[in-house]
Amino acid sequence: MPRVTDAYRQARRLEIAAAALRCFGRKGFQGTSMADIIAESRLSAGAIYSHFKGKDELIEVSVHGVLDHLLDEINALRSSDPLPEPREVLKAFLQSIGEDIIERGLLLQVWAEAMTDPGLARIAAGTVTGLKELFAGYLVTWYTQSRGLTPAEASSRAGKYAAVMLGVCQGFIVQSALIPEFDAQEYLAGLGAITPA
Distance CA 176, CA 67 (A): 17
Distance CA 135, CA 129 (A): 10
Angle at CA 21, nearest 5°, toward 18 and 22? 90
- What beta strand segments (E) does 31-181 contain? none
Distance CA 160, CA 54 (A): 40
Directed axis angle between helix 151-178 and helix 118-146, to 10°?
Answer: 130
pLDDT for residue 114: 87
Distance CA 45, CA 55 (A): 12
Q: Where do the domains of the chain lie, and which CATH numbers do they carry?
A: 60-193 (1.10.357)
What is the tens place of the pLDDT at every residue in 145-183? 889 999 999 999 998 899 999 999 999 989 988 899 999
For residues 147, 152, 156, 157, the Cα torsion angle rounded to the nearest 10 degrees is 0
Distance CA 10, CA 7 (A): 5
Return all residues near 110 (Cβ < 8 A) that are at least 6 apart.
63, 66, 67, 120, 123, 124
What is the tens place of the pLDDT at every residue in 77-123? 777 778 889 999 899 888 887 766 666 678 888 888 889 988 888 88
What predicted TM-score, i.e. pTM, was given to this entire model? 0.79
pLDDT for residue 103: 63
